[in-house]
A and B are shown apart, each in its own frame.
Chain A
Amino acid sequence: MTKRTIIPFGPQHPVLPEPIHLDLVLEDEKVVEAIPSVGFIHRGLEKLVEKKDFQDYVYVAERICGICSFIHGMTYCIAVEEVMKLDVPERAQYLRVIWSELSRIHSHLLWLGLMADSFGFESLFMHTWRLREAILDIIEETTGGRVIFGSSKVGGVRKDVSDEKLKLIVEKLKKYEKEIKEITDVFVHDASVKHRLVGVGILSKNDAYTLGAVGPTARGSGVSQDMRKLGYAAYRNINFEPIVETAGDCYARCMVRVRELFQSIDMISQAVNKIQAGPIEVKVTGTPNGEFFARTEQPRGEVIYYAKADGDKFLKRLRVRTPTFANIPALLKVLPGSSLADVPVLILTIDPCISCTER
């Protein structure tokens, strides 16, 4: 009977962007069991909805997470707008799509950099983040903030972007596409990267579906599920297909995110071609009454906002279920059987955004 040791992983670890704690039970370098412990940054943001007006809560919703900030704000606005049956104008819908896709590009570039850092390839990490700066500059030009956009509001968007600026953005992105391709080619073809990622952490298609995995974690195992196909916010007018890989290992999940980067650049140019002139917001009168589950696709998967209101200006209940919360069981399934050196790579492969998980 080999001796078992328990090693605590986290909450502070160089590879983790946010604190999560795992107790790993090891037998001679192989992980046998993993027990998660969350709650380090539980801020109780769902309870704040009782104190903040439903229109003022957008500022809190945007700040639930720093990486996926815009889509949190947008989903909150979609949930309240569907409860109040507001008709958001077309131009606002297209602007939301453009900012969502910019958000997705910067999040995937951030993840690629962290992945390279987790297996020690630091210069690749620095180059990926250098490319991300260009995207953050575009975002700052259009909304005013690099990370927290501040551009969603119930009924539309707060700032307009002129058509010439939109065309300039598309040209800039096409120019950067070549540089991004050079760097992501290293992820796709380099032998040392493949050695660390291929065959590590295989998640079967059935497991991914029944354990409720969402986003690239599920799409890397063959489950074709993308909430953008629901058609919210002008996505019904954009042509795209969810990107699916079948291998189910870390390499497949990395491939899904790399290909989604280029798909997002293409979707932004489609949106800029189709956008029409018009108003960017609709006036909000009255208070919400009813309930709705708003589901959108964040870079990490499906996020659900459940809003319930009964005519008061404070919402009765707001429930946020983020994709990392749904991916943690898949992580716990993949960890047993792997070696200790692969644990950071596996944890990063589900793209943990713990500040979203424990709002």
Chain B
Amino acid sequence: MIEEQKLINIEVKELQERVKEFYGQGFRLVQICCTKLAEGLELNYSFDKNFEFINLRINLAVANVEVPSVSNIYWNAFLYENELHDLFGINIKNMAIDYKGSFYRTAVKWPFNPPLDTAKGEGKND
């Protein structure tokens, strides 16, 4: 094992205060990513300080749960959050720069998390 990688499971409503806590302790935001599992989506926020690596994990049952943006604390989060919105359809409020779906222009909307019913969300984007 190269390094210890800690994992903390939290809820959506604790996100803002946990991230503010990390900012106060001097951590830097490394990346934000999402995985589609059989039982929903799993958001993962990674932080690092002097090679101490901590992950915050949030489990979302559906994609349109509102997640508050952390770009008011870490400005660079807006890139990751726009990507999450364009690839998975996650609804993130108050991003610092909001591309409103045109960050990646793909032929299929939300390519990593295609909507199950074909009535909404299908067809060309832009």
Contacts and interface: CB of A to CB of B under 8 A. Distances in A.
Contacts of B79: 325, 328-329
A304 B30 contact: yes
Contacts of A294: 2
**Which of B30, B31, B37, B103: most chain A Cβ within 10 A?**
B31
B106 A42 contact: yes
Instruction: Classify chain A: how many residues form its interface, as a range.
Output: 20 to 34
Interface string A36-57: 0011001010110000000000
A92 to B, nearest CB: 15
A329 B75 contact: yes
B33 A231 contact: no
B76 A326 contact: yes
B31 A304 contact: yes
Interface in A181-231: 209-212, 229-231
A47 B104 contact: no
B104 A39 contact: yes
A159 to B, nearest CB: 24
A30 interface: no
B1 interface: yes
Interface string A311-322: 000001101010
Interface in A226-272: 229-232
B29 interface: yes
Contact of A316 (B2, B23, B35): B35
Contact of B103 (A39, A317, A319): A39
Interface in B93-113: 97, 103-106, 111-112
A232 B33 CA distance: 23
Contacts of B104: 38-39, 42, 358
B105 A39 contact: yes
Interface string B1-14: 11101000000000
A306 interface: yes
Contacts of B91: none
**Which of B51, B79, B106: most chain A Cβ within 10 A?**
B79
B59 interface: no
A209 B5 contact: no
Nearest to A322: B31
Interface residues of B, number: 30
B20 to A, nearest CB: 13
Contact of B74 (A38, A210, A230): A210
Interface in A272-329: 292-295, 302, 304, 306, 308, 316-317, 319, 321, 325-326, 328-329
Contacts of B3: 230
Contacts of B112: 46-47
B75 A47 contact: no
Contact of B2 (A232, A302, A306): A232
Contacts of A210: 23, 28, 74-75
A328 B103 CA distance: 14
**Which of B2, B35, B79, B104: most chain A Cβ within 10 A?**
B2
A316 B34 CA distance: 11
A1 interface: no
A82 interface: yes
Nearest to B7: A291
Interface of A: 35, 38-39, 42, 44, 46-47, 78, 82, 209-212, 229-232, 292-295, 302, 304, 306, 308, 316-317, 319, 321, 325-326, 328-329, 358
Given A35-B97, A39-B103, A78-B2, 18 more contacts: A38-B103, A39-B105, A42-B104, A44-B111, A47-B111, A82-B2, A210-B23, A210-B28, A210-B74, A211-B75, A212-B30, A292-B5, A293-B5, A306-B33, A306-B44, A316-B35, A317-B33, A325-B79
**6 closest cross-chain pairs (CB), A and B:** A329-B76, A321-B31, A317-B35, A319-B33, A39-B104, A212-B76
7 contacts: A82-B2, A209-B28, A293-B53, A304-B30, A306-B44, A319-B33, A321-B30
